Structure formats: structure tokens, C-alpha cells
Structure 1
């Protein structure tokens, strides 16, 4: 009863913010994202009837507190679905820096849910596995289905699940994401908890459905400027909501703003490039294969570490030779 899985983190394009149910993590509205590769999380799990208690480890550190509670919520759901009560050993590793705004909880819980379902002997589709991953992080549902994916809002597992959005191969293959790493620790869960208390939240809710449809139409039309222009606009809308909540979360740092300005200068000079941020200081910079070298050099000149990512696929089971233990 052992399995290993890999999943890619996500860049939110139309982001969800806030949850109707904090335990089952039902978001207030739909969301769309794209997975970024080769960045990934790899997770090995084993259900062992002889183990006395669960053990969770991420990046060589034992997990406790709220982190362990979130993992346990996913593990317990899989145990319920499979009708088993075995304790689990859970070991996970990330190939990229975490907690700086690059979707590590999404890839983490997507890999966890996929590995757990396999180890427990569950025969599930990826949208079904996405409902397991969602219990750890709503964004993880989209990391399960991979590529460009749509998480539907709802108040049950039949409605609140992720599905892959069909996108032309040439459009996906041409996308390059320059990651501008601004290493400022962020805490997303607290911002979600108070989302509805912002006076900007209802304004966001009023336009988000139109935003979702515009994004789907732009993806269908393979319209790069519209897709990533909407993502840039949505980033600013999300920030307006988090900044006007009770805790007045301000995640951006001076280099975040410098990257924004650099992107806009490049675009004024005819380069197809747009910025996007989730809840964090780090920045996704979306461009095309023809312009990625120029864009990466400009972002690096802002004094930040960079990576270049492409569109990542769905979560997948790995061969036992790739197990972490």
C-alpha cells in the first residue's frame, strides 16, 4: 500500500479568494489556473497496518501544527473512502522554493492526493481525485488535472471539482513563464479566512463571473494578450481585496513593484509580456518563446533570482524506483 506521485504548482489566472466552508474548502467562486513545469512536488506515501501513528515530512522536516492538520484532513478522507484505518508515512519534496507565492500548496496536496488514492487502491478519475486534493488546498484541485484547468465552485464534491480546459497545443507550447522570486514569506490561509470582510469583496464577486467567461473565451481563441491581460487585471483585483481586509495584508515588496514597472516598459516597447501574482511578493511574468530571453534578462536586472517555466501536465503516479523511501 505504497505509491509515489508528482504534481506541478499552479499560476492563478482568475484566482479564487475566500472560502464558504473552511473545512471542505469550498471557494466562493470558480477559478482558472495554469500549471508550471518543470517545478514540481514529489510525494511518497505508505499505509502500514503495523505503524502506530501517522508521520508527515516535507523537505526533510517533520510537519506539525496547522500543516499536519491540513495533511491529516486529506489522509483521513482517503481512509474513509477506502475503508481502511492504517497509519501512514508521508514524505514530500519540492523542487522549488516554497511559501513565496508560487503555488507550493497546490502541487503539494495534488501530489499527496494522487499518491494516497493510489496507495489506498482507489480507482478514481482525476476530477474525482481533485476533490480529495481540494480538502488540503482549493488550488490543489487544479494542479491534479494540470495544464489550464477550471475549478468549479459548489457545496459538494459532485459540483466542486476541477476539469481540464482544452487548449491548442501550439498555444500552450509557446507560453514561457519567467518566475521572479521575491523571497518574502507569505501566509495565504489567513487572508482567505477574512476575505469576505473586505469592502472590496462584493465588488470582486460582482465581476468575477464575467472575468471567468472572458478567460475561457480567450483561451479558446488562443489570444495570448487577452489571456494574460485578464490575468494581470485579476492580480490587481485580488490585491485590492486582500489589502482592504481587516488585517490589511500587503504582500508586495519593492522588487515586486520594480518587476511590474519593468513588464510595463517592455510591453510599451512591443514585447508581449504580462505580470501575474497570487498572494505573495513573487511574480509570474508571462511571455512567449521568441521573447523569453529578453524578458528573463530584464527581470533578472531587477535584482531577483529567476526561473523559466512552461505549461505542466496533470499529477501523475511515478514508478516505484522514484519513491522517496
Structure 2
């Protein structure tokens, strides 16, 4: 009863903010994202009857406290569904920087859910597994179904699950990841989201944003989709900055990237910035312009990676197991 899985992290396009139920991680509203590849998390999970307690290791470090608790929420749900009464050995590795705004929790919990479900012998579709992954992180639901995906809000696992949105933009999108290492605290921001006076304003327009994004993706309209993602990043920041903690997560380098993107766009380059709850920036462009865009960001002295669109979470061969 051992399995290994791989998942790609997500870039939020229309981002969720705040949860109506923290235990089940049910978000207040829908969200849409795109997975970034080849960045990925690999996770091996095994149910072992001779273990005295669950053991969770991520990037070589054994987790305790809140990190272990969040993985335990997913593990306990899989145990309950499968009827397995055994402890879990769990190891996970990321091949990209974590906790700086590049969605590591999404790929981490997506790979965990797929590995655990496979190890438990459960037969579930990817949308069904997305509801399992959501118990660790709402964004992980979308990393399960991969590429461009839409997580619908709801009060149960039938409604609150992810589905993939088919679009030809999967082939042309290139993402220059501008690495700005500043540790983020996403969970704290979600916890206080509804206390911002800007939250109700965000809720009032988010449904229209979701509909517009879905239409733009189906029409393969790059400019419309990623202009909307850029504006949503600003809306999200307005909400986090006006919460009780006044949480500002951008750094001076973040603003420099924004300005470079706007200058490129004035010069005719199709390029838009996007941020999640972190200082790092996703710079979205097309294959034809990615080298020029990457060079402009690198000239700022900011570390860069170039990503394309990643697919759904997958089960790997036994030889890829981490233990």
C-alpha cells in the first residue's frame, strides 16, 4: 500500500481569498488558476501497520505543528473513506522555491492526495480527488485537475471540487517566474479576509470576473485573460492590505517587475504581471516573446525561471518512489 505522485503548482488567475469553513477549506467564492511546469512536487505515501505514528517529511525536514496538522487532515479523510487503520509514512520533495509566492502548497497537497488515494486503493476521478486535496489547501484542488482549472465554491465535496477548462492558450502561454524571496503567511491572510472593508467589494464583482475569465479562455483571448489576472492581483492586494494586520507582501523588487512589464507592454509586447499572496511575480507572455521578457526581468537583478502550462497530477512508477 505505497504510491508516488507528482503535481504542478498553480498560478492563481482569479484568486480565492478567505474561507467560510477552515476545517474543510471551503472558499467564499470560485477561483481559476493555471498550473506551471516543469516545476513540481513529488510525494510518496505508504500505509504501514508497524508504524507507531504518522510521519511526514517535506524537503528533508520532519513536520510538526500546523504543517503536520494540515497533512493529517488529508490523511484522516483518506483513512476514513478507505477504512484503513494504519499509520502513514509520507515524504515529499519540491524542485522549486517554496513559501515565496509560487504555489507550493497547491502542488504539495495535490501530490499528497493523489498518492494517498492510490496507496489506499480508492478508485476516484480527478475532480473527486480534488475535493480530497482541498482539505489541505483550496488551491490544491485545482492542481489536481491541472492546466487551466476552475474550483467552484460550495458546502460539500460534490459542489466544491475542481474542473479543467479546455483552451488553446495551454500551448502558447509562457510564464517568466520572477523570484523574490520573502517568506509569506497565506493562511493568516485567508483567516482575516472577511474583516477587510474591501472584502464585500471583492465579493460583489468576483462572479463577473469568473465568467469573463472562463469566456476569455474558451475564446483563446490571451490579452483579455491575462489583463484580467493582472487586475485581480491588484484587487487581492487591496483586500489583504486593508485587513486587520495591514499585510503588505510586495517588496521593492516586486514593484520594479510591475514597471518593467508595463514598459514592455507600451512597446507592443503582450505581457502581464500576476501575484498570489507573496512577493514573487508571475510574468505572463507568449512563446514568441518569452526570451525578450525574461531578459528584461533578469536585467533588474531578479532571479528568473521560465515555465509553461502543466497538466494534472499523476501517479508515478514505483521506481520514482522517494523511499
| Residues 102-160 of structure 1: CA deviation (Å, up to 9, x unaligned) | 00000000000000000000000000000000000000000000010000000000000
Q: Please show how residues 8-87 of structure 1 align to structure 2 within 5 Å.
A: 8-87=8-87
Aligned-partner SS, 1:271: coil
1:219 aligns with 2:205: no
TM-score normalised to structure 1 length: 0.99
| Residues 178-206 of structure 1: CA deviation (Å, up to 9, x unaligned) | 00000000010000000000000000000
1:282 alignment partner, one of 272, 280, 283: 280
1:188 alignment partner, one of 186, 189, 212: 186
2:233 alignment partner, one of 226, 235, 239: 235
Aligned-partner SS, 1:156: coil
Counterpart for residue 119 of structure 2: 119
Structure 1 residue 91 displacement after superposition: 0.1
1:207 alignment partner, one of 205, 208, 211: 205
1:304 aligns with 2:302: yes
CA contact (8 A) 2:167 2:219 kept: no
> Where has structure 1 moved over 6 Å in runs of 4 or more?
none
CA distance in 2, matches of 1:26, 1:235: 21
CA contact (8 A) 2:30 2:150 kept: yes
Aligned-partner SS, 2:47: strand
CA distance in 2, matches of 1:63, 1:310: 31
CA distance in 2, matches of 1:121, 1:21: 28
CA distance in 1, matches of 2:120, 2:170: 34
Aligned residues: 323
CA distance in 1, matches of 2:54, 2:191: 27
TM-score normalised to structure 2 length: 1.00
Aligned-partner SS, 2:84: coil
Counterpart for residue 171 of structure 2: 173
In structure 2, stretches of 5+ residues that fail to align are none
Aligned-partner SS, 1:44: strand
Counterpart for residue 100 of structure 2: 100
